Each structure stands twice: as structure tokens, then as C-alpha cells.
């Protein structure tokens, strides 16, 4: 099992907090910037606890039926097909809703009975009321820095969850993560993390997102594959961040200063 466990390097007591939350049958909210390791953390903890993981990437068109299930035609018959949330409840698994604020409002309404002491999932279409077993856990995440007032969790929903805030790891930890994920030697990961620090600290350039640990891993993979560091950084760090020509030139100057 340990060999198959997704790699994750803790930066604090988040693993202990997750285990306590799981044992106490509490719903969990993970907050943090894009690409900081939220999804990897959930995958790691699901494997660590030996539970099945049902991941849903939320979007504007996601409905409650997408989570709970619907009747479908199969072989000339109408059959009920469980959605990922229902499967997780039946199996006693972990259901993870990534970027939950992107989903339609009726989705959060479905979650409410699972986030209080009832821990039930009513299925109106089938007339069932599923009682979540002790092993079931509901986890949701979102990026508070990217959301606006039109896309945010209502306070009444947020207060149904205990919460852990994530951020990008400290430099030493990020170097270790990039080296482990990409196979790039540690000494080559050091300038890459130093570059990320400078890019993240930019004040004069307005970027919707900053360089994520995920993008640093992509860049390191390109470098490990033989691509020139400057080209790798341009492809994996600069181009994904923006489309503005002048802004990209400014970012590339920092890359040149790092890699010559």
C-alpha cells in the first residue's frame, strides 16, 4: 500500500488534522491557491486511510443530479445510476468536490444533510434516505484568492465545515517536492524555486494567478527531459500565466536573470 500511496510532503500538521477530522466524522473544507497541493493531499490521505476516493471537478453546469445520480436508459430499460457522491456514501468512501464554488447553488443544498449530525443523503428520485457510514467523509476545496462575490460559499455553508488553509510550501520543502516529482537533481531545483519566489513577489505586474508548485514540477520535468532551462521556464511558467505580450516580456527578464 505504501508503494502506491501518492507522494505528499507535509508542511505542518495537516495530515494529523485530516485524520482527526475523519475519525470524528466531520466534513472538511480545504482552502488554498491553485496548484499548491490540495488535490494531491486528499489523494494521499485517502490512500493512507485505505478509503476509496471519488473526485468531482466542479463547474458551472454541475447539478445535484450529477452528484447523486439519475435514471438512464440501458438495454431498453430505465435503470438508476448512482452519482459519485451517492457511491461514496454507499461504499463509505471519501467524496472530494474540487473548486466547489464553481458548482450551481443546488449542489450545496444537497450537501447540507451530510454536513450536520444527521449525515444522510436523501435521494428524491428513488425515495431512499441513505445513512452515511462512519467511514464516509465529505471534503470540498476552493481557491479564495481567485473567487469574487458572485462565486463564494455562503457563510451558512462554510460554517458546516472545519477548515484547513493551504499555501505554497516553504522553499526547502518545495525543492524536495519538485525533485521527487520530476527526478531533476536538487541542485537544479534550487534556482527554479528561487525564480518562483521572485515571480510570486512581483507587485508591479497584475496576474490573476501566481506560479504554482504544479507548474514548477512541469518545468522541472521539461528540464529533466533535456529542454533548455530558459525554454522550459517560458513554456511551463510564463506562457500559462498570461497572454499579454508586455507582461510576458517582463516575466522573461526574470527568467533570463536566473538562467542567463
pLDDT digits (tens, 9 = 90+) for 50-104: 999 999 999 999 999 999 999 998 888 999 999 999 999 999 999 999 999 998 8
Adjacent-strand bridge partners of 157: none
Backbone angles phi, psi at 187, to 5 degrees: -65, -25
The correct answer on CATH 3.30.457.10 for the domain covering 2-165 is: no
pLDDT at 3 over 50: no
Locus of grid cell 425515495 = 127
| 148 pLDDT higher than 80 | no
Specify whether the CB–CB gap between 130 and 90 falls below 8 A: yes
Per-residue pLDDT, 146: 61
Query: Using an 8 Å Cβ cutoff, are 32 and 141 in contact?
Result: yes
pLDDT band at 133; cut points 50, 70, 90: very high
From the DSSP assignment, how many helices (H) and strands (E) are in the chain? 11, 9
pTM over 0.75: yes
DSSP conformational letter for 238:
I
Look at residue 156 and give its three-state secondary structure.
Answer: helix
Given a cut of 80, whether residue 152 has pLDDT beyond it is: no
Q: Residue ranges of the alpha helices (H) in 9-151?
A: 14-23, 38-49, 64-68, 84-91, 105-111
Note the pLDDT of residue 147: 53
When mean pLDDT is compared across 19-23, 96-100, 108-112, 153-157, the lowest value belongs to 153-157
Q: Given this model, what pLDDT does residue 186 score?
A: 97
pLDDT at 105 over 70: yes
80 contact partners, CB below 8 Å, separation of at least 6: 69, 70, 71, 72, 125, 126
Q: What is the DSSP letter of 143?
A: -
* Rounded-to-integer distance, Cα 114 and Cα 223, Å: 45
Are 151 and 173 in contact, with CB atoms under 8 Å apart?
no
**Torsion, CA 237, CA 241, CA 242, CA 245, rounded to 10:** -20
Segments making up each domain of the chain, as ranges: 2-165, 171-259
**Sheet of 137-142, strand order:** 53-57, 94-98, 137-142, 28-31, 162-165
Q: Is the pLDDT of residue 205 over 70?
A: yes
Residue 2, pLDDT > 70, answer: no
Residues 6 or more apart whose CB falls under 8 angstroms from that of 105 comprise: none
Segment among 145-149, 150-154, 254-258 with least mean pLDDT: 145-149
Q: What is the predicted pLDDT for the residue at 207?
A: 80
* C-beta separation of 29 from 158 below 8 A: yes
Amino acid at each position: 500500500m505504501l508503494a502506491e500511496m501518492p507522494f505528499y510532503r507535509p508542511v505542518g500538521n495537516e495530515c494529523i488534522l485530516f485524520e482527526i477530522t475523519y475519525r470524528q466524522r466531520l466534513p472538511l473544507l480545504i482552502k488554498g491557491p491553485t496548484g499548491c497541493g490540495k488535490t494531491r493531499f486528499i489523494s494521499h490521505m485517502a490512500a493512507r486511510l485505505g478509503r476509496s476516493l471519488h473526485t468531482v471537478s466542479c463547474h458551472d453546469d454541475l447539478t445535484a443530479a450529477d452528484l447523486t445520480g439519475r435514471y438512464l436508459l440501458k438495454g431498453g430499460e430505465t435503470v438508476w445510476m448512482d452519482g459519485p457522491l451517492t457511491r461514496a456514501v454507499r461504499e463509505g468512501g471519501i467524496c472530494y468536490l474540487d473548486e466547489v464554488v464553481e458548482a450551481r447553488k443546488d449542489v450545496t443544498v444537497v450537501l447540507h444533510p451530510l454536513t450536520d449530525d444527521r449525515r444522510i443523503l436523501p435521494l428524491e428520485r428513488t425515495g431512499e434516505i441513505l445513512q452515511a457510514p462512519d467511514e464516509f467523509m465529505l471534503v470540498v476545496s476552493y481557491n479564495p484568492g481567485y473567487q469574487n462575490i458572485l462565486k463564494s460559499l455562503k457563510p451558512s455553508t462554510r460554517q458546516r465545515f472545519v477548515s484547513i488553509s493551504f499555501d505554497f510550501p516553504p522553499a526547502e520543502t518545495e525543492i524536495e517536492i519538485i525533485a521527487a516529482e520530476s527526478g531533476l537533481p536538487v541542485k537544479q531545483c534550487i534556482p527554479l524555486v528561487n525564480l518562483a519566489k521572485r515571480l510570486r513577489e512581483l507587485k508591479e505586474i497584475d496576474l490573476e494567478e501566481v506560479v504554482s508548485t504544479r507548474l514548477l514540477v512541469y518545468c522541472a520535468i521539461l528540464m529533466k527531459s533535456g529542454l533548455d532551462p530558459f525554454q522550459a521556464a517560458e513554456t511551463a511558467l510564463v506562457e500559462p500565466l498570461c497572454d499579454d505580450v508586455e507582461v510576458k516580456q517582463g516575466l522573461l527578464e526574470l527568467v533570463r536573470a536566473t538562467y542567463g
